[in-house]
Structure 1
Amino acid sequence: MRKATIWTILVALACPVAAAAQSLAPIEPLADPAAIALPASKGASRSSEVWNMLQAGNPVVRNVTQPTLTPVLPDPAKATGAAVIVAPGGGFLMLSMQTEGFAVAKALADRGIAAFVLKYRLETTPVEGKAFLAAMMERFRSAPNDPAAVLAVRHPDPTADALAALRLVRSRAAEWKVDPARVGLIGFSAGAMTALELVQTVPQAEQPAFFGYVYGPQAVETVPAGAPPMFDAIAFDDPLFRPMTFPIAAAWQRAKRPVELHAYQKGGHGFGGLGAPGTTTTLLLDQFTAWLAMQGFLKKADR
């Protein structure tokens, strides 16, 4: 693939790099006093993190070695008892902590759904900005041509962090006033892949109750027995995971597991939880919430 084509793809990512092509000046980490540390490898530390602003309003974090989970809870008067762990994307090299993290969590909480932003472990990237951009270009070089190969690569640390997050929310369900049987995930891009890998690898007893799979690769996948309901959303003009057809949704349907598919005319890759202005992707969270209600996950919590 020509370098210009790769750059076009990068411009369309959840954390657009075009505005930062000359340099990636570090920024202060997002204030996150409610963050709860999750189990990690020995020596993990938040001091390893590098924060950048790749586009106005879209801070990203890199070199995460200490995973965390941050609760964003609804007004008790609106709480439904459902909970969603939010997994941002970024190619397993960075995390879009606002557009695919805290903005999503706040919007879910406004709808009465307890949300928990997952900052999962990432691969190490160069601290210097241009070297990081080169690493990003290499990562996304082959993805448009072979999405199945992208899904074939396993990411054990992010998947373990997602499982740890599920366990934590369920263990503290009474404190956070959520139903442990109604805890699910929504993931974006690499976060969607993390959610899918979790569904495919953990025992059925530890499965999430449901999961949102937002602009993840659409390649056909094995559906585990008793797989949770899936909400699949992607734009037709996604340059990274070109969805000519939707075999992953078809696989869920063949397995007679609940699945809903939203294929937007426009939105590109990385339109975030609130969507790209001027497109119907702005309806994503309304549609996700309506789907959860249809599945029975938003029944009011017992008082």
Structure 2
Amino acid sequence: MIDLLKPLARLASLGLATLPLCAAAQAPGAATVVPLHAEGAPAPLDVPETHARVGEAGETMIFNVSRPTLALFRPSPGRANGAAVIIAPGGGFVGLAYETEGIAVARRLAERGVTALVLKYRTIRSPDDAMHMPPVHMKEMQTITDRARSGLPDELPPFAGEPHAMEDGARAILLVRQHAKEWGVDPGRVGFIGFSSGAFVAADLAIGDKSTRPSFVGLLYGGLRTPVPPGASPAFIAAAADDAYMPDDGVRLYAAWRKAGAAAELHLYEHGGHGFALKPKGTTSDHWFDAFLWWMQARGFLRR
């Protein structure tokens, strides 16, 4: 969620305006874009969906999302191994880091034979300006920064946009399983990986209704959700010890999973900060993706 701040700060400093996001630009390089809901549902926000391209790497942030979709990236013919991973970018439930925590990860997974789907989930309404910071999000950020200093509260309260995002995540799980045969996917190997706010969604699904629990989850610099049931989805947890916003949450997630007797693996990197994704930093956090694939393989999710 906090990975939203640096891109927006850069955007404001450059004086760039946000632009409408046309349908054709929703998922560059994706074979298929699948809507999660029927036409006209849910009700649209009263501001248009917008995007902003920021930074030298051309990161795309998407705001005011009211029409959630899945962007499908399929492996090359003959390379698919039957596993699927839904990817939820971060952005504080205000925006979505669609390129760095969505498309880039999906392409990397597809190269390894995994059917990847980027979830563009609903966000809360934000001002249509360069900063996109609604008051509710500023209050949430204050809670997070206070907690980083004091360690309290142990569990963060739900975020304003979390219920809708979780609903979209659950629908995505059902949709992928529904199309499993068509997309060459094993319905018993449908995982969900989330970054920052997307990791909160992944954790919510992993401990939620059994009918929409992912087969496994990846929780990247996300936060604690309790209680964790014994049947929670197996979790791969990755975070950095120098995360300025959630310095202890990787350990807390792991402890909660293990206390419940649920399977979990923790990778706590010395450096990497918040929002490392696939951006090279010259730290050991650069290697989380390979560790995630090794974990998937060790648990039998990458078998052909």
**TM bucket, shorter chain:** 0.7 to 0.9
1:295 to 277, 280, 299: 299
Q: CA deviation at 1:220?
A: 6.4
Shift of the 45–131 alpha-carbon distance from structure 1 to 2, 3 Å rule, reads closer
Which whole-Å CA distance do the structure 1 matches of 2:78 and 2:120 have between them?
28
* Bigger shift: residues 120-129 or 131-140: 131-140
> Would you say how many aligned residue pairs link Structure 1 and Structure 2?
288
Q: CA deviation at 1:95?
A: 0.2
Contact 2:89 2:119 in 1 (8 A): yes
**Corresponding residue number in structure 2 for 1:115:** 116
**Corresponding residue number in structure 1 for 2:165:** 158
Contact 2:204 2:225 in 1 (8 A): no
Give deviations 1:3-29, integer Å, cap 9, x for gaps. Answer: xxxxxx96x657533322333412463
Q: CA deviation at 1:140?
A: 1.5
After superposition, where does 1:101-180 map in structure 2 within 5 Å? 101-130=102-131, 132=133, 137-144=138-145, 145=147, 146=152, 148-153=154-159, 155-180=162-187
Q: CA deviation at 1:196?
A: 1.0
Contact 1:15 1:60 in 2 (8 A): no
**Corresponding residue number in structure 2 for 1:25:** 17
Shift of the 25–39 alpha-carbon distance from structure 1 to 2, 3 Å rule, reads same
Which whole-Å CA distance do the structure 1 matches of 2:61 and 2:137 have between them?
13
Which whole-Å CA distance do the structure 2 matches of 1:114 and 1:262 have between them?
24
**Corresponding residue number in structure 2 for 1:221:** 226
Contact 2:59 2:99 in 1 (8 A): yes
Q: CA deviation at 1:46?
A: 11
Please tell me whether residue 182 in structure 1 is matched to residue 189 in structure 2.
yes
Q: CA deviation at 1:173?
A: 0.6
* Bigger shift: residues 15-24 or 288-297: 15-24
Q: CA deviation at 1:135?
A: 6.7
**Corresponding residue number in structure 2 for 1:199:** 206
Contact 1:27 1:53 in 2 (8 A): no
Determine what percentage of the aligned residue pairs are the same residue: 38
* Bigger shift: residues 131-140 or 85-94: 131-140
Q: CA deviation at 1:149?
A: 4.5
* Bigger shift: residues 66-75 or 18-27: 18-27
SS at match of 1:132: coil
Contact 2:86 2:191 in 1 (8 A): yes
Shift of the 92–153 alpha-carbon distance from structure 1 to 2, 3 Å rule, reads closer
Unaligned runs of 5+ in 2: none
Unaligned runs of 5+ in 1: 1-8
Q: CA deviation at 1:139?
A: 3.6
| TM-score between the two structures when normalised by the length of structure 1 | 0.87
| TM-score between the two structures when normalised by the length of structure 2 | 0.86
SS at match of 1:21: helix
Shift of the 176–90 alpha-carbon distance from structure 1 to 2, 3 Å rule, reads same
Which whole-Å CA distance do the structure 2 matches of 1:97 and 1:269 have between them?
16
Shift of the 47–68 alpha-carbon distance from structure 1 to 2, 3 Å rule, reads farther
1:95 partner letter: L
After superposition, where does 1:2-151 map in structure 2 within 5 Å? 13=4, 16-22=7-13, 23-27=15-19, 29=21, 30-32=25-27, 34-39=32-37, 41-44=41-44, 48-56=48-56, 57-130=58-131, 132=133, 137-144=138-145, 145=147, 146=152, 148-151=154-157
Which whole-Å CA distance do the structure 2 matches of 1:220 and 1:61 have between them?
26
1:215 partner letter: Y
Which whole-Å CA distance do the structure 2 matches of 1:64 and 1:129 have between them?
16
Give deviations 1:161-201, integer Å, cap 9, x for gaps. Answer: 00111111101111110100000100000000011112232
Give deviations 1:108-133, integer Å, cap 9, x for gaps. Answer: 01111110000000100000124638
Give deviations 1:40-84, integer Å, cap 9, x for gaps. Answer: 744338982011123232110000001000100111322110000
Shift of the 196–130 alpha-carbon distance from structure 1 to 2, 3 Å rule, reads closer
